[in-house]
Structure 1
Amino acid sequence: MKFYSYILFFLLTSLGFSQAEETFDKANTAYADDQFDQAIQLYNSVLDEGLVSAELYFNLGNAYFKQNDLANAIFHYEKALQYNPADQDIKENLEIANTQTIDKVKEAPESNLKSVMYTITHALKLDSWALVSIILSISFGALMIFYFRSPSAKGKRRNFSFAILFLVLAIASVLFGRFQNQLQESQSFAIVFENQLPAFVEPNPRSDINFELNKGTKVSLGSTFRDYIRIELSDGSKGWVKISAIKKL
């Protein structure tokens, strides 16, 4: 009985994926025909099925951008980068969208080491780092076999040197992937979905206003209090805004 249940589950899952793929193709066709409202509706229906990918978020961001909905465009570009941080097309479109936002927030200076580490760890996706570490580990094992079976001392030294190199690279790839994962888990961001959104000194609408934000601005999230959440901009500015005015990435 379990066997037939597994078969039924597999068939239903396959059917769901095929339907989602068909909907995705229809959305792409609608986008190509400049029917952006329909494309957005179809892309979102795929998301509602629980199927996500960098390509889906990227295409949805493009559709919103064509509708001049910068907040949603930036939000979905950022979501696409979470799934594929090395994609240059996503980065370029996100940069273009950010240039059209009202708020121009400068980046706070950071250390060269931190910048280099961020660039390296986000050069590949998490699953790509895992694949690289597996390939390097297998290569290390193969070279160690060649080391023990090599008849000459010169061959042993060469194989051992390469084996150590591949081992170091395998460990490094694991650490880079782990660092990227920890960075994503430790940092929480959101996109602002209101214009002239006041950022208060305290979580109280009667307190002083530090600054105002507009649609499309990316903020870092902190603690919450009732209907307010503490946010921080990339230049270090901080304040409290309404939770309902932002959308968490």
Structure 2
Amino acid sequence: MENTSTTEVLKSLESLYLKGEFGKALELLIKSKTQFPTAEFHYNMGTVLAKQGDFAAARYNFELAIKNGTFSSAIKNNLEFTKTQLAITDISNSRESWELWLDRSLSVPYEATFSIVLVLLLGLTLLFRFNKIKSKIVYGLVSALLLAIPLCHMGLHKKFDIAINLKDQEIYEGPSSVYDSIGKLDAGAKIILGQIDKDWVMVEYPLKYAGWVKRETLGNL
């Protein structure tokens, strides 16, 4: 049964939302954060922030909702609408197949890959045990290849992080504003991060944003 206080908060949020009092709705959401599952909290945050016109922060929260287990037609449509409003090219809609592959790979937890591979290995072992696969060499090679997939996937997660840039900011040649500016990182852009140097981080992909940016305006996923 749903918690009574949570029900009251939801009713208050709905009332504020219908009245167009999005600032108050946002304050109430943040104040009541502990009463919601993580995914639901970020979905609600994204919805209110989108109504306020803060599409970069809205996208960040929709992406977090998906990462934490909520994926429905509603959140998909809201995320796509938000990306349309941002109207930018980033890692999620790059024309480079390598960048798209990286985005898809890093969006899936490597634990999920391990789980899938374990099921496949179990099936492979049963086939070998009942002589459907007769060669030990074939069994060993296929097993090794399957195990390599989650290990490589885990390596990608260890090497790179994904983030949403929350505000427009300059891109620099090095980890300081004393370096020359080489471009602008658009608010709402989804990027893949690499090396960190104190308050700065290197944008690895997409290549159009490659360079150093301030970490303080990034929302890590």
TM-score category (smaller protein): 0.5 to 0.7
Mark the CA change 1:85 to 1:243 in structure 2 (over 3 Å): closer, same or farther. Answer: same
What amino acid does structure 2 have at the position aligned with 1:107? S
Question: What displacement does 1:239 show?
Answer: 0.8
In structure 1, the partner of 2:167 is 194
Aligned to 1:238: 210
Q: State the Cα deviation string for residues 34-86 of structure 1 (Å, max 9, x = none).
A: 22122211221232x27433232112111111111112111111111112364
Identity of aligned residues (%): 23
The residue type paired with residue 68 of structure 1 is: G
Mapped pair 1:218 → 2:190: yes
The one-character-per-residue Cα deviations of 1:216-239 (angstroms, maximum 9, x if unpaired) are 122222222132111233346411
Scaled by the length of structure 2, the TM-score of the pair is 0.66
Contact kept in structure 2, 1:187 and 1:220, CA below 8 Å: yes
Instruction: Select the residue among 37, 56, 62 that pairs with 2:41.
Output: 56
Asked whether the equivalents of residues 159 and 194 of structure 2 are also in contact (C-alpha less than 8 Å), the reply is: no
Specify the code of the residue in structure 2 equivalent to 1:83: N
Residue pairs, 1:1-249, within 5 angstroms: 18-47=4-33, 49=34, 51-84=36-69, 86-101=71-86, 103-105=88-90, 107-110=94-97, 182=154, 187-195=160-168, 197-235=169-207, 237-249=209-221
Larger radius of gyration: 1
**Relative to 1, partners in 2 of residues 1:93 and 1:186: Cα closer, same or farther, differing over 3 Å?**
farther
- The alpha-carbon deviation at position 187 of structure 1 amounts to 4.4
- Structure 2 distance, partners of 1:215, 1:95, is 16
Which position in structure 2 is the counterpart of 1:148? none
Separation of aligned partners in 1, 2:41 and 2:160: 23
- 1:189 deviates by 2.0
How far apart are residue 102 of structure 1 and its match? Answer: 5.6
1:71–1:193 contact (8 Å) kept in structure 2: yes
Q: Distance in 2 between matches of 1:18 and 1:60?
A: 21
Q: What whole-Å deviation, never above 9, does each CA across 1:192-219 have from its counterpart, x for those lacking one?
A: 2222x11111112122222102221222
Distance in 2 between the 1:23 and 1:185 partners? 39
